[in-house]
Amino acid sequence: MDRVTVTEASQVAEARRLAVAVAQAIGFDETSAGRVALVVTELATNIVKYGVPGEVLVGTYEDGTGSGVEVLALDKGPGFSDLGCAMRDGHSTGGSAGEGLGAVRRLSDAFDIASRPGAGTAVLARLSSVRATVKVPSDAPPTYGAVTVALKGEVANGDGYAIRERADGWTVMVADGLGHGPEAAKASEAAVRIFRRHQDDAPAAILSAVHAGLGHTRGGAVSVARFGREPGVLSFAGLGNVAGAVVHGGSAKRTVSLAGTAGHAARRIQAFEYPMRAQDLFVLCSDGIATGYSLDGYPGLAEAHPTLVAGVIYRDFARARDDATVLVARGGAT
């Protein structure tokens, strides 16, 4: 995802230009790109008014709900004590018309928000190039989402991730190329390609294939996990410090990664199994995220869209010295 730091009004236009460029690059027409521009303008303006400092992240998405542009607005401002009130048209604490968040929700194909008094606000908006005339509600919550951001000042992101949906669950991987920059990106991109070729193998077999195939690169830390709804088990295999956790409510059960560097050093590759329920989350983070992250202090966040969960973890626990990736996958309906 690309990002724009938002601390003052001129950066609203910068965020808008970035978002329109992303939309046009994936084929949005002028009308659809204009809708993206309006959403990003509202979100970035809200940060300037209420949430400085903040960030706008812009990327793309493709899953069972469709495809399009994904926008995250993240701030550490005062937050909202009453989200329902804040979403109503006409509500304003900053002297404006107060239609920003309500307009964003109406313009978006998917929308979610998390806010706590004194701890900031996170907003997710997803926009498709073709809007359905009628939004059909789904009883099944979104299954997965991710945030991946390059080290500030770097064009290439040394992290990568991949997701394989299955009839009975999913398989996911996060790869963190050694170091950062273009050479790290080559390693993570190679890991994703190998994952695609072996995505139906068991997690330990996928990781073994990635290890065997990264010898021509810097290598890196790689973790692979598979969830099967029956019998409700997560199988996890990791080399290095891409950290996983099964989250139930706010508590987390950390998974075990073995020492090594995929592509260069692996004394042993082994999968470990963990119980996981349909309502649980699995969180997988590169080492650009502090290992001590927790959802304990975020009531209700585990029920939010997985991309919003990933955005909050990134906002509050990212380290400034490395690329950062958070992948969040929900068990899903049985």
Cis ω for the linkage preceding 53 (within 30 of 0): yes
Looking at residue 25, its amino acid is A
SS3 label, residue 214: coil
pLDDT at residue 55 greater than cutoff 80 = yes
Q: Record the tokens describing residue 80, joined without a space.
A: 């909202």
Across the range 316-331, mean pLDDT stands at: 95
Report yes or no: 309 and 266 within 8 Å, Cβ to Cβ.
Answer: no
> What's this model's pTM, rounded to 2 decimal places?
0.92
Predicted local confidence at residue 66, as pLDDT:
86
Within the chain, all domains assigned CATH 3.30.565.10 are found at 2-127
Across the range 21-30, mean pLDDT stands at: 96
Topology given in CATH for the domain delimited by 144-330: Phosphatase 2c; domain 1 (3.60.40)
DSSP for 74-127, please give it.
Answer: EE-S---S-HHHHHSTT--SSSS---HHHHHHHH-SEEEEEEETTTEEEEEEEE
Tokens 């994936």 sit on residue: 26
Instruction: Please state, in angstroms and as integers, the Cα–Cα distance from residue 80 to each residue in 5, 118, 229, following that order.
Output: 21, 8, 36
pLDDT tens digit sequence for 128-166: 987 654 454 444 567 899 999 999 999 999 999 999 999
Going by C-beta distance under 8 Å and a sequence separation of 6 or more, which residues neighbour residue 85? 91
Predicted local confidence at residue 296, as pLDDT:
86
What's the mean pLDDT when you consider all of the chain?
Answer: 90
pLDDT tens digit sequence for 200-229: 999 999 999 999 999 999 999 999 999 998
pLDDT at residue 51 greater than cutoff 90 = no
pLDDT tens digit sequence for 250-273: 688 999 999 999 999 999 999 999
pLDDT tens digit sequence for 172-205: 999 999 999 999 999 999 999 999 999 999 999 9
DSSP for 151-209, please give it.
Answer: PTT-SS-SEEEEEEEETTEEEEEEEEESSSSHHHHHHHHHHHHHHHHHTTS-HHHHHHH
CB atoms within 10 A of CB 92: 15
Higher pLDDT, 84 or 115: 115
Within the chain, all domains assigned CATH 3.60.40.10 are found at 144-330
pLDDT at residue 69 greater than cutoff 90 = yes
Topology given in CATH for the domain delimited by 2-127: Heat Shock Protein 90 (3.30.565)
Among 262, 184, 275, CA closest to 234? 275
Looking at residue 208, its amino acid is S
